[in-house]
Amino acid sequence: MGALRLIVGLGNPGPQYAQTRHNVGADWVRELAHSQGISLALDARFKGEIGRGIIHDVDLRLLIPTTYMNNSGEAVGTLARFFKIEPQAILIVHDEVAFAPGIAKLKNGGGDNGHNGLKSIRASLGNQDTFNRLRIGVGHPGQRSRVNAYLTQQTPTQEERGLIQAAGLTSPEILADIVAGRWQSAMTAFHAPEPDATTKQPDESAGPDSHLGES
């Protein structure tokens, strides 16, 4: 598998969603851009904030869609088609309610697990699900009916935010493996702390969650 060409951070636009759990993907990409000296600028053609730079010798574009989460594919699909970027060369960074804060995992392809942002992106890429994901755990409120508000209206506690940020951190060596597409090496080395025993877990009887509404 070849090197990445595009990293996308998912979230909702607007100050009312800033720092919410649903925006951890956008926050991750914004921090990556800052750490690598890459400027992000609004580009109406691609419905998002766009940046480009060299990260560990790999020429990469960064994208934070300015659509709502469930329309993320409008930005991703448009940019991918314009620059002829294959799904396998895309990394999507997003929140994951199935993981407690402090857990983050890389994944190659697969289903959307009820995440409307991923669902939109898959549709925009011709129903191909071979794009890569960095899934950052944000925890679960315990009841399916509370998931939407939990993700889009509530900010993590200071402790949870620290765990979320720590889980998403990557060393230069791991980041180099990720952008180069050395997935086995990256997955082996990627480390996140174990969740605290008191962290709320999903109600298994509730079934899979749909990351709803403007999410």
For the stretch 163-190, pLDDT in tens is 998 888 888 999 999 999 998 888 887 7
What is the structure's pLDDT at 78? 97
Whether the pLDDT of residue 209 is over 70: the answer is no
What structural domains does the chain harbor?
6-206 (3.40.50.1470)
17: exposed, middle or buried (Cβ count in 10 Å: 0-12, 13-18, 19+) = buried
What is the structure's pLDDT at 49? 98
Whether the pLDDT of residue 76 is over 50: the answer is yes
Both tokens of 31, joined, read 């921090």
What is the structure's pLDDT at 170? 85
User: Residue 156 and residue 139: Cα distance in Å, rounded?
Assistant: 10
Whether the pLDDT of residue 53 is over 60: the answer is yes
Under DSSP, is residue 18 helix (H, G, I), strand (E, B) or coil? coil
Strand order in the sheet with 41-43: 41-43, 48-55, 58-65, 6-9, 90-96, 132-137, 104-108
* Distance from chain centroid for Cα 116: 12
Give the tens place of pLDDT for each residue, 126-153: 988 999 999 999 999 999 999 999 999 9
Whether the pLDDT of residue 192 is over 50: the answer is no
Active site residues: 22
N-to-C CA span, the chain:
31
Whole-prediction pTM value? 0.88
Rg (CA), the chain: 16
